[in-house]
A and B are shown apart, each in its own frame.
Chain A
Amino acid sequence: MSGISDTERMITLKTVEGTLFDVKSSIAKDLKTVQAFIDDSDDDVTSPIPLPNVFTRELSRILDYLNNHHRFRSGIEKADEEMARYDAEFAKSMSHEELKALILAANYLNVKDLLEFLNQTVADVIQNKSVEFVRNFFGIENDYTPEEEEKLRNENEWAFNGVEQD
């Protein structure tokens, strides 16, 4: 190992489109899939690490999120409020399509904190919504027969009944 400390080392990542991103190794640590790849390599990784499942748009957003969160965490006390505001803006800036794409990428790269945040964001969107809405949101086909659907609906009747009176 050379005298360069870990936080100064740069890792290069390559997206599906071939775009290269230089990432500090301290940030790369949050991309657990990448970190695992680095750990598994005996030599220092110098050539770009290919990410065959990640598009430029998504990686750019993920790195943006991580960079900002690192900045908040190492900064002043009011960081919590700023971070919450940043998170809210971050979520709002994406369409549903972009949100879904980002979850896929964050899941592949295993970015724990971001994934939790995105999961909560999606959960907030689908909470208390109709089954049709959720199907449209995720672009999922209904694969039940009418009979199966009827049976399921009856089994879970209470969930469709609004707030229960005691």
Chain B
Amino acid sequence: MMVMVMVGEGVGFQDLPEGCIANVVSLTTPRDACSLALVSSTFRSAAESDSVWDRFLPSDYNDIVSQSTSSSCRSKKQLYLSLCENPILVDDGKKSFQLDKAYGKKCYMLSPRMLFIVWGDTPRYWKWTPLPEARFSEVAELVSVCWLEIRGWINTHMLSPDTLYGAYLVFKPSSTGAYGFEYQSIEVSIAVAGGETHKRTVFLDPERGKRLRYQIVPRRVGIFNRTRMVAAAGPPQPPRDNLDDQYPKDRKDGWLEMELGQFFCEGGEDKEVEMGVYEIKGGDWKGGLLVQGIEVRPKQCVHANNTI
């Protein structure tokens, strides 16, 4: 729509039709679109328009959202923010979908039923239980195993292009308490089809990480401190600067997460990414974990400040 305007001295941007302002805003970021609403009421109208937020949503969002039974939102901006804050279940409840707020990149969590868990069907070793605070209908409860092996897969065509992704095991100790993880290191890996496998050594016991970081002497036995079998000598101390990467972190939803690794999704490809968690060499018993799933989401990176 063109607006016939007498252009005088000192062009005011308000002379531009709202559609034009919206075009500019749609080329910024979701964060900018929210802050730009404060410039003026005209700007707000443009910055909150569907044409802007449609551009921030993934191009195939309609297909994804239609798989969910969640209620419809009044505007695209509300849909965007809703998808950022509230993951929706897709693929018959086997996965959850969410958007990363900063740039609208896609995030998925694979439910435990989508994972390959060795001995997963044997109740002595793994149990499947519904849990109200869990995202999916069941969590996989690790009762006790010697051989720990969990694997999951995701195809890059499901993810956002041009994005560095991280994969995370989402878990927490069960009510009976976890054991066998204090001194036993776990191997985690990521492999993109056609590329190398990247392996790391981590510990699933967050208390251990805190003790090493802060030199805390435990005053009482915490839920992670019951050890049935202790390794002959504790593993060597990791260098201080690696500590953050080797131990689980707290999540806002009350669960823990352990990073399995990262991979770059270029886009326009159809590559399978395999993510794994293994402890198959030590032979010691370990157990007492609840596994919620494996989450794949963009890694936070520092956004450089634009200066004039």
Q: Interface residues, chain A, CB within 8 Å of chain B? A: 16, 33, 52-53, 55, 97, 100-101, 103-104, 107-108, 110, 115-116, 119-120, 122-124, 126-129, 131, 134-135, 137-144, 149, 152-153, 156, 158-160, 163-166
Q: Is B15 an interface residue (CB 8 A)?
A: yes
Could you list 15 A-B pairs, sorted by A, with CB under 8 Å? A107-B2, A108-B5, A119-B20, A120-B27, A126-B28, A127-B306, A128-B29, A128-B31, A140-B39, A159-B30, A159-B34, A163-B303, A164-B101, A164-B102, A166-B251
* Residues of A close to B15: CB separation below 8 A: 104
Interface residues of B in 33-61 (CB under 8 A from A): 34-44
Given contacts A156-B38, A159-B31, A164-B101, A126 and B24 within 8 Å (CB-CB): yes
For the complex, give the distance between the alpha carbons of A140 and B44 in Å: 12
A163 and B44 contacting across the interface, CB-CB below 8 Å: no
**Chain B, Cβ-Cβ closest to A108:** B2
Q: Interface residues, chain B, CB within 8 Å of chain A? A: 2, 4-7, 10-17, 20, 23-25, 27-32, 34-44, 101-102, 251-252, 300, 302-303, 305-306
| 16 more A-B residue pairs beyond the given contacts A107-B20, A123-B28, with a C-beta to C-beta distance below 8 A | A16-B7, A53-B7, A100-B11, A128-B305, A134-B36, A137-B13, A140-B14, A140-B40, A142-B39, A156-B37, A156-B38, A158-B34, A159-B30, A159-B34, A164-B102, A165-B300
Given contacts A104-B11, A143-B40, A158-B34, A123 and B101 within 8 Å (CB-CB): no
B17 and A153 contacting across the interface, CB-CB below 8 Å: no
A123 and B7 contacting across the interface, CB-CB below 8 Å: no
Within the complex, the shortest CB–CB distance from B42 to chain A, in Å, comes to: 8
Given contacts A127-B306, A134-B36, A165-B300, A101 and B102 within 8 Å (CB-CB): no
A101 and B11 contacting across the interface, CB-CB below 8 Å: yes
Kindly identify which residue among B36, B39, B101 contacts A158, using a CB–CB cutoff of 8 Å: B101
**Chain A, Cβ-Cβ closest to B14:** A140
Task: Tell me what chain B mostly uses at the interface: helix, strand, loop, or mixed.
Answer: loop
* Residues of B close to A163: CB separation below 8 A: 102, 300, 302-303
**Chain B, Cβ-Cβ closest to A107:** B20
A149 and B38 contacting across the interface, CB-CB below 8 Å: yes
B16 and A140 contacting across the interface, CB-CB below 8 Å: no
For the complex, give the distance between the alpha carbons of A158 and B251 in Å: 18
Kindly identify which residue among A101, A137, A159, A166 contacts B35, using a CB–CB cutoff of 8 Å: A159
A104 and B36 contacting across the interface, CB-CB below 8 Å: no
Kindly identify which residue among B32, B37, B302 contacts A127, using a CB–CB cutoff of 8 Å: B32
For the complex, give the distance between the alpha carbons of A22 and B84 in Å: 53
Within the complex, the shortest CB–CB distance from A12 to chain B, in Å, comes to: 21
B38 and A119 contacting across the interface, CB-CB below 8 Å: no
Given contacts A53-B4, A55-B7, A164-B101, A127 and B29 within 8 Å (CB-CB): yes
* Residues of B close to A153: CB separation below 8 A: 38
B28 and A104 contacting across the interface, CB-CB below 8 Å: no
A131 and B12 contacting across the interface, CB-CB below 8 Å: no
* Residues of B close to A115: CB separation below 8 A: 23
For the complex, give the distance between the alpha carbons of A39 and B215 in Å: 81
For the complex, give the distance between the alpha carbons of A6 and B275 in Å: 61
B35 and A131 contacting across the interface, CB-CB below 8 Å: yes
For the complex, give the distance between the alpha carbons of A115 and B34 in Å: 23
A131 and B24 contacting across the interface, CB-CB below 8 Å: no
Within the complex, the shortest CB–CB distance from A118 to chain B, in Å, comes to: 9
Given contacts A123-B27, A128-B306, A159-B35, A142 and B40 within 8 Å (CB-CB): yes
Within the complex, the shortest CB–CB distance from A35 to chain B, in Å, comes to: 13
**Chain A, Cβ-Cβ closest to B12:** A139
Within the complex, the shortest CB–CB distance from B206 to chain A, in Å, comes to: 16
Within the complex, the shortest CB–CB distance from B286 to chain A, in Å, comes to: 27
Kindly identify which residue among B7, B10, B32, B303 contacts A139, using a CB–CB cutoff of 8 Å: B10
For the complex, give the distance between the alpha carbons of A34 and B23 in Å: 22
